[in-house]
Amino acid sequence: MKKFSVNSTAFASALLLGAASLSATAFGAEPQPVVHISGIDHAGINVPDINAAVAFFSKTFGGKLESDITPGTIPDAWKTAFNWRSSSDLKRFVMVRLPDGTGIELFQYSGAEINHAQPHEDDAAATHIALRTQGIQASYEALKKAGLKTLNEPVTNADGTQWFYFLTPWGSQIELVAKTGKTA
């Protein structure tokens, strides 16, 4: 078996040159967007118990149920197109609208092949949502008092952005963010 050694200086230089050429292309020119957007309408979350999730978003953030749909049988073509398991059924989905207009769409699936274990946050396709709050410390204390698990104490970035993460009762991560207006 042949062994190769890598000159760390040459390797670092190659990485920097590659990053420089990427950033020149990616960040240098003003690209023309394919689609013009005006903002984020909602985030979707799969939950094990839709009633409990609606209650959580209502109690914790003042969300209001906007729509509640029980779709019936999902065609196999949709299961293929949306990368669902063939044994899965979409039992119900709802839209909860938060007071600031942000939508949280909740989905509850059933099926023998569904994995109910939470992915690790560093797994592909794992995600979190970030919601803005006016008072980061007061929000942190309120969530702890409500018995929710916080993952870190509030952090303040150099630009004044403050944030922390907590877990929903079913294990999804949510980040709360406050903007202080401070500049770096």
Separation CA 154–CA 156 (nearest Å): 7
Average pLDDT (103-126) is 86
pLDDT over 60 (residue 6): no
Which residues touch 122 (CB under 8 Å, ≥6 apart)? none
CB of 151 closer than 8 Å to CB of 167: yes
Strands (E) across 70-169 are located at 89-97, 103-110, 129-132, 155-156, 161-167
Provide the pLDDT for residue 158: 92
Per-chain mean pLDDT for the chain: 85
**What pTM did the predictor assign?**
0.77
Average pLDDT (20-26) is 50
171: left (phi over 0), alpha (psi -120 to 50) or beta: left
Separation CA 166–CA 152 (nearest Å): 8
